[in-house]
Amino acid sequence: MPTLTRGQKVSLANSPSRLQAASSLQAPGLTLDFSCFGVDGNGKLSDDRFFVFYNQKEAPQGAIRLVGDSGFDLDLDRLPTTIQKLVFVVTVDGGGEMSQITRGSFALRSGTQEIARFDFQGSDFGREKAVMIAEIYRRDGWRLAAVGQGFAGGLSAVLKHYGGQEVQQPAPTPVKPTTPPPSAAPPSSSPKISLDKDKALQLKLEKSAPQLVNLSKTLAVSLDKKGLKDIVARVALVLDASGSMTYQYEKGNVQGVVDRIATLAMRLDDDGELDTWGFASRHARLPSVSLANVNGYVKEITKKHSFMSIIGNLGVNNNEPPVMREILQFYWNSPLPAFVVFISDGGVGSSNAIKEVLIEASRYPIFWQFVGLGGSNYGILEDLDTMRGRTVDNANFFPIDDWNRVSDAQLYDRLLNEFPQWLRAAKSAGILR
């Protein structure tokens, strides 16, 4: 396994076509975005479908796919011959500069085998906002080059460097004139790409779930207000399916919950999906909510139910600890913070068991936001602020007596109210990197 220095190159002739490229940077205080530019022989982004980043996570045929927030799965055989080079770039989102990196690395792997590695540090750079870390390029087969070249601008400037163009705002639908206006300028050949995460989500929702567009706009305001616009997190939803929740399901309130939390997941989650569980006497992992199935999600999951069960065969009683423990085991080693929204209409028992799970979970990257939905007797959930024994305060609770009287802005503000405080505390405690 060669360890490359800046400017060094190595042949990939003996390597498989399916590879993994992973960047790892220790950069306290920086918010970083990772991207891969598939450029042509002139070094230009002539086909914007091969620019893979947080708003476009996969190239055609899965030739390039963003994994998490800093890794890429590659299938070089699926790249068209017009793509001559893959450039891996890291950019600073917001304040800061690349000299703040304490240590960084780029590794090319095939499964568990490391093919080549390139290490670098902040002292290699100055006040640049971006670094072109490495390139995979065609020359008598594929080769890898350790680049380590700083770039003055951020992602928008790098995009422009490669011939792309950032969309500043969604363009209105053009009205086709009967004759072209004589002063009309020729159309630009530069691909136009949105780097704005909120606008990109709104454009996706307009096509597949237009009823969520206004929700996404309201959410964007709350995220900005809470300082969470640049946060990437796993998002989960736990649905109470006990018998007393029947009214909430029948009146559409649970679908309303799904719509609002799914919109949050599409904006914050690294894969844009909402991990979902249901619980009553028993619990089960439910299909993840995504843009593809959010419409009518609750109707689908309640389709196969019995007289004594809202969802499947989960039963009718409250039994929170088992589903909480499964979620703890699911996220305990997550590289990203996990934001878990837990819906309950009360009747909460097993206070000691719930307390034990929350105390154990306080050592891991999981924040629990409990929401009471039109119920009573929330038990220990109402005492979270005074619960002792936790590494950090990792949970919050608020009730909603009448779902229809709470505005979307109020809901998002309350949902996100303590999450930023936990993020800071978890980082200070070494729970989050």
pLDDT in tens, the chain (433 residues): 689 999 999 999 999 999 999 999 988 878 888 999 999 999 999 898 999 998 888 999 999 999 888 899 999 999 999 999 999 999 988 788 899 999 999 999 999 899 999 999 988 898 889 999 999 999 989 999 999 998 888 888 899 899 887 765 544 445 444 444 444 444 444 456 767 788 888 888 988 899 999 999 999 999 999 999 888 899 999 999 999 999 999 999 999 999 999 999 999 987 789 999 999 999 999 999 999 999 999 999 999 777 689 999 999 999 999 999 999 999 999 988 999 999 999 888 788 999 999 999 999 999 999 999 987 788 889 888 888 999 999 999 999 988 888 999 999 999 999 999 999 999 999 999 7
Amino acid identity of residue 380, one-letter, is I
The count of C-alpha atoms lying within 13 angstroms of the C-alpha of 281, restricted to the half-sphere facing its C-beta, is 10
CA–CA gap between residue 197 and residue 356 (Å, rounded): 38
Q: How far is CA 429 from CA 153, 162, 277, 327, 418, in A?
A: 33, 41, 29, 21, 16
Bridging pattern class, strands 165-166 and 32-39: unpaired
Is there a single domain that holds both residue 249 and residue 376?
yes
Return the pLDDT at 192. Answer: 60
- Quick check: is 236 in a domain? yes
CB burial of residue 1 (10 Å; 0-12, 13-18, 19+): exposed
pLDDT at 269: 86
Compute the distance between CA of residue 159 and CA of residue 37 in angstroms, rounded to an integer: 9
Is 306:226 a contact under the CB 8 Å cutoff?
Answer: no
User: What is the 8-class DSSP label of residue 38?
Assistant: E
In a domain, 187, yes or no: no
> Six-digit token pair at 242?
């006990």
Closest listed residue to residue 36, CA positions, set 50, 22, 20, 55: 50
Q: Which of 35, 111, 57, 49 is nearest to 80 (CA)?
A: 49
- Sheet containing strand 283-289, edge to edge, reads 283-289, 274-279, 234-240, 338-346, 366-376, 395-400
Residue type, 379: G
Element (H, E) at 151: strand 142-151
Domain stop point among 115, 150, 166: 166
- Check if the beta carbon of residue 57 is closer than 8 Å to that of residue 65: yes
DSSP conformational letter for 33:
E
The answer to whether residue 182 is domain-embedded is no
Q: Quick one: 315 and 378 in the same domain?
A: yes
132, 236: one domain: no
Is 52 among the domain residues? yes
Whether 157 and 201 map to the same domain: the answer is no
Distance CA 341, CA 86 (A): 39
Task: Give how far the C-alpha of residue 52 lies from the chain's centroid of Cα atoms, to the nearest Å.
Answer: 14
Report the CATH number that the domain containing residue 341 is assigned in CATH: 3.40.50.410
- Note whether 275 and 372 are same-domain residues: yes
Where b means 16+ CB within 10 Å and e means fewer, 222-260 reads: bbeebebbebbbbbbbbbbbbebbeebbeeebbbbbbbb
Establish if 274 belongs to a structural domain. Answer: yes
Residue 171 lies in a domain: no
Contact 33, 91 (CB under 8 A): yes
Q: How far apart are CA 152 and CA 99, in angstroms?
A: 12
CATH code of 21's domain: 2.60.60.30
Question: Do 348 and 381 meet the contact criterion of CB atoms below 8 Å apart?
Answer: yes
On whether both 413 and 307 belong to a single domain, the answer is: yes
Sheet with strand 85-92: strands edge to edge: 9-11, 142-151, 130-138, 85-92, 32-39, 51-52
Contact criterion met (CB below 8 Å) for 383 and 429: no
Q: Is 139 in the same domain as 243?
A: no
In a shared domain, residues 272 and 128? no
Beta strands in 139-191 (DSSP E): 142-151, 165-166
Q: Domain limits at 47?
A: 3-166
pLDDT value for 296 = 94
* CA–CA distance, 231 with 226 (Å, rounded to integer): 11
Q: Work out how many domains the chain is built from and give that number.
A: 2
**Domain stops at, among 124, 145, 166:** 166
| H or E element at residue 106 | strand 103-110
pLDDT value, residue 85: 96
Task: Supply the pLDDT for residue 186.
Answer: 42
The answer to whether residue 183 sits within a structural domain is no
State how far the alpha carbon of 261 is from the alpha carbons of 269, 284, 357, in Å: 11, 19, 23
Q: Do 137 and 94 share a structural domain?
A: yes
Q: Report the pLDDT value the prediction gives residue 351, as an integer from 0 to 100.
A: 87
Question: Does a structural domain hold residue 180?
Answer: no
Q: What is the DSSP letter of 293?
A: T
User: CA–CA separation, 35 vs 103, rounded Å?
Assistant: 19
